[in-house]
Amino acid sequence: MTAISISNKNMEALKVQLICHEGLTCVPMENDAGELTIGVGRNLSQTGISETEAEQMLEHDLAELLKNIEEELPVFRQLSEVRKLVLMNIAFSIKIDGLKALKKLLAALCIEDFTLAANEILHCHTIPGGTDRKAELSMMMKAG
C-alpha cells in the first residue's frame, strides 16, 4: 500500500479548519460529550499525551519556573546550582508563592546557614512527597 501524502499547504488549512471546528484550549475542558480535552480536541481520557510531549511540557514548565524564581527570589542567584535545583524542585510542587511562604528556609539561605535550611526542608509540612523526597532535598541543600 502506498502512503498518501498531503501538501503542507493543505495540512495547514486543515489545522486552521480544525481549530475553528474544535476550538483551541490551553487548559483541560469538557467537550459536548463530557470528555476532558485539551489543545485542539485532544481527548485526555482516550489519547492522553506521549512521553515526548510530557517531557516537552516539563522543559517548558521548568524554563518558566526558573525565570520566575530568579525574578521573585533574589537569594536564588547567590546559591550553588545544586541548591537552586532544590528550590526549583520545591517550587515545582508548591509554586513560587508556596516557596516564598517558607520564611525560615529563605532566612536560612540569606545567612548561608545551609544546615538550618536543610533541617527546615526535613520538617516542612508543606513540601509534598513524603520523607524520602524531603530527605533527598535536605541532603542536597546541606551538601550544596
Asked if residue 7 is part of any domain, the answer here is: no
**62, 120 in Cβ contact below 8 A?**
no
Q: Which of 79, 98, 91 is CA-nearest to residue 142?
A: 79
In whole angstroms, how large is the CA radius of gyration of the chain?
Answer: 22
Asked if residue 23 is part of any domain, the answer here is: no
Place of cell 520523607: 131
**In total, how many domains does the chain have?**
1
Residues 18-58 have pLDDT tens digits of 899 888 889 999 988 899 999 998 999 899 999 999 999 99
Phi then psi dihedrals of residue 120, to 5 deg: -60, -40
- Domain of 56, in residue numbers: 51-143
Asked if residue 16 is part of any domain, the answer here is: no
Buried b (16+ CB within 10 A) or exposed e, 113-133: ebebbbbbbeebeebeeeeee
For β-strands 42-43 and 25-30, DSSP reports them as unpaired
Asked if residue 36 is part of any domain, the answer here is: no
Q: Examine the pLDDT at 5 and tell me if it is beyond 90.
A: no
Asked if residue 95 is part of any domain, the answer here is: yes
Asked if residue 45 is part of any domain, the answer here is: no
Asked if residue 10 is part of any domain, the answer here is: no
Cβ neighbours around 51 below 10 Å, total = 7
C-alpha of 19 from chain center: 26
Asked if residue 100 is part of any domain, the answer here is: yes
Distance CA 37, CA 35 (A): 6
pTM, entire model: 0.82
Residues 52-111 have pLDDT tens digits of 999 999 999 999 999 999 999 999 999 999 999 999 999 999 999 999 999 999 999 999
